[in-house]
Chain A
Amino acid sequence: MSRGTLIDLLYLVSATTFILALKGLGSPKRARLGNGVAAVGMLIAVVATFFKQVDGHNLHHVALILIAMAIGVVVAVPTARYVRMTAMPQLVAIFNGVGGGAASLVSITEFVHIHSTHPATYVTLEVLLGVLIGTVSFSGSAIAFAKLQELMTGRPVTYPGQQIINAVLGAAGLVLIIVILVTGQTGLLWVLLALAFVLGIAFVLPIGGADVPVLISLLNSFTGLAVAASGFTLGSNLLIVAGTLVGASGILLTRLMSKAMGRSLSNVLFSAFGSVITASGGTGADARPVRSGSPEDAGVLLSFASRVAIIPGYGLAVAQAQHVLRELAEELESKGIEVFYAIHPVAGRMPGHMNVLLAEANVPYEQLKELDEANSELQTADVALVVGANDTVNPAAKDDKSSPIYGMPIINADLAENVLFLKRSMRPGFAGIENELLYNPKTTLIFGDAKDTLTKIVAAVKAS
């Protein structure tokens, strides 16, 4: 067997591990194993590549390759390891963005390399598509990162004629591709690169912070497609398989994610969701009567309950209060009170994010109830404790047809006898929508930092 055949065989092994890995990632038991399998497959592919021959010679610049890899590892490992769990979505965004950038660069570099040999039209098309998609993913992810990291406003950025401008940008990209293919003016490649960069930014700007996770999933899929396009250019089955796998599964995953929010994908992408504070919004909000209480009141109420439902949201994670929350739950359990957590599928910043954050705080997995189960159990709960959640308990999703979140499944906190709503202020949630639950007669608001308030509640529960 020749060296080339052996390497191709190893690539086949590697591609197979990627398929198995995605399969594994779909089940809670095998997910971690799946990820490990893919990592091994990746290592095999990378090591094999060092021995590959291109254009009849061994790889040049091996030292440079190693240096570049070392730089990548030195930056990536600490970032991925030590960034707080709450910042996970941003991390995924940025690692996806650099992947898109890499795919775009690979296509460009290969094109520069083969340019003088006057490649066939279809090769040029592959390059152009790789550059377009990869670059959109790169600049789009960068904006998504900035939004999640709060380097810029998380609200949709809109301006007059935005949809039209974006449509024109997209059309210009396609026209440019056709022009390059027809005229062979390959210098225009750089214009396409610039255009794609602007398009990625313009595409992401009007998407609100609450929808950014869906967007990241879509951009992830784009990067996959860009990788597949590079695979065509380089003639690599491995890149085609891995890229297409991610591209196809990513688009489906994106649709599943928007479905979990009760919205269609086009609604997520093009409606500038959350740009206006709806309902009574803004100044009118403070005028309506709400009932507020002290942490001590809350402690007493909880101590005399027999079933308590905890409804956590992203605010919990921001306040780093998940450990105190678990402490409270344990304290209540020691008094014979039954405690469970009602987890909305999009609680936190991404689907499943809340499960990760609570697991980090050692909350027993059995206490976590998913939406449907949680809603049926809430009917028998004495107290629903809402910590840092807002949109996911907003009854407007059920009752108010004019509300932008109408149709999103929510946790029916108002089914419980009492609702304790821990809140920093009367400000509306991430999606920028007024929450009727705050004005419900069952609801007691407890203002303050979640961690601080919870600590006081724990003390009050201990005392009573």
Chain B
Amino acid sequence: MGNVLLQYATVLMLTIFVGIEIIAKVPSILHTPLMSGSNAIHGVILVGAMLVLGSADTTLETVLGFLAVILATLNVVGGFVVTDRMLEMFKAKPKAPVAKNDEVAS
């Protein structure tokens, strides 16, 4: 117990306030990208997954850690790519009539 736990608790408390403060005024059209973006950020669990697999001693730990790294990578990579694809759509369009309009997207 002791100092280390207290230090983590301090970080936790301060971050809660940062998290709330940062979101306070976001236009509703950005709610979805914001959700998706924060989804990618909690993919940082990948770092934790690497650490547990990297220190695994038994087969059980290795298997669990291996699965954790796969899932966490899916979270990180998928999260960022999806968010970027959403936000790509928000980029400012040139005002002029759009000539090359036939998107291949759908």
Q: Which residues of A are interface residues toward B (Cβ below 8 A)?
A: 14, 18-19, 21-23, 25-28, 31-32, 34-36, 38-39, 42, 45-46, 49-50, 52, 54-55, 59-62, 64-65, 68-69, 71-73, 75-77, 79-81, 84-85, 88-89, 91-92, 94-96, 98-99, 101-103, 105-106, 108-110, 112-113, 120, 122, 213, 216-217, 220, 223-224, 226-228, 230-232, 234-250, 252-253, 256-257, 260, 320, 322-323, 326, 343, 345, 350-353, 355-356, 359-362, 364-365, 370
Contacts and interface: CB of A to CB of B under 8 A. Distances in A.
B106 A323 contact: yes
B29 A352 contact: yes
Contacts of B53: 60-61, 64-65, 68, 109
Given A109-B65, A361-B103, A103 B34 contact: no
A226 to B, nearest CB: 8
23 contacts: A32-B88, A38-B80, A42-B40, A42-B80, A45-B47, A54-B51, A60-B55, A60-B56, A72-B70, A73-B77, A80-B78, A80-B81, A88-B36, A94-B78, A98-B72, A113-B61, A220-B38, A227-B45, A246-B39, A247-B16, A252-B23, A260-B31, A323-B106
Given A72-B74, A102-B71, A246-B38, 8 more contacts: A25-B34, A26-B30, A28-B30, A45-B44, A234-B48, A248-B17, A249-B19, A256-B28
Interface of B: 1, 4-5, 8, 11-12, 15-20, 22-58, 60-62, 64-93, 95, 98, 101, 103, 105-106
B92 A365 contact: yes
Contact of A106 (B1, B12, B68): B68
A102 B75 contact: yes
Contact of B77 (A38, A64, A76): A76
Contacts, number: 381
Nearest to A79: B78
Contacts of A237: 8, 11
Residue among A14, A21, A54, A61 with most chain B CB within 10 A: A61
B89 A235 contact: no
A247 B68 contact: no
Contacts of B101: 326, 362
Contacts of A226: 45
Residue among A18, A35, A248 with most chain B CB within 10 A: A35
Q: By DSSP majority rule, is chain B's interface helix, strand, loop, or mixed?
A: helix
B77 A360 contact: no
B27 A99 contact: no
Residue among A249, A252, A355 with most chain B CB within 10 A: A249
A356 B15 contact: no
A22 B22 contact: yes
B33 A246 contact: no
B38 A240 contact: no
A200 to B, nearest CB: 15
Given A92-B35, A227-B44, A352-B30, A120 B71 contact: no
Nearest to A248: B19
Nearest to B75: A99
Contacts of A80: 77-78, 81-82, 85
Contact of A88 (B12, B17, B19, B32): B32
B66 to A, nearest CB: 5
A35 B32 contact: no
Nearest to B73: A72
A31 B30 contact: yes
Contacts of A25: 26, 30, 33-34, 37-38
B37 to A, nearest CB: 5
The 4 closest A-B pairs by CB, nearest first: A72-B73, A248-B19, A59-B54, A99-B75
Contacts of B82: 80, 88, 91-92, 95
B68 A77 contact: no
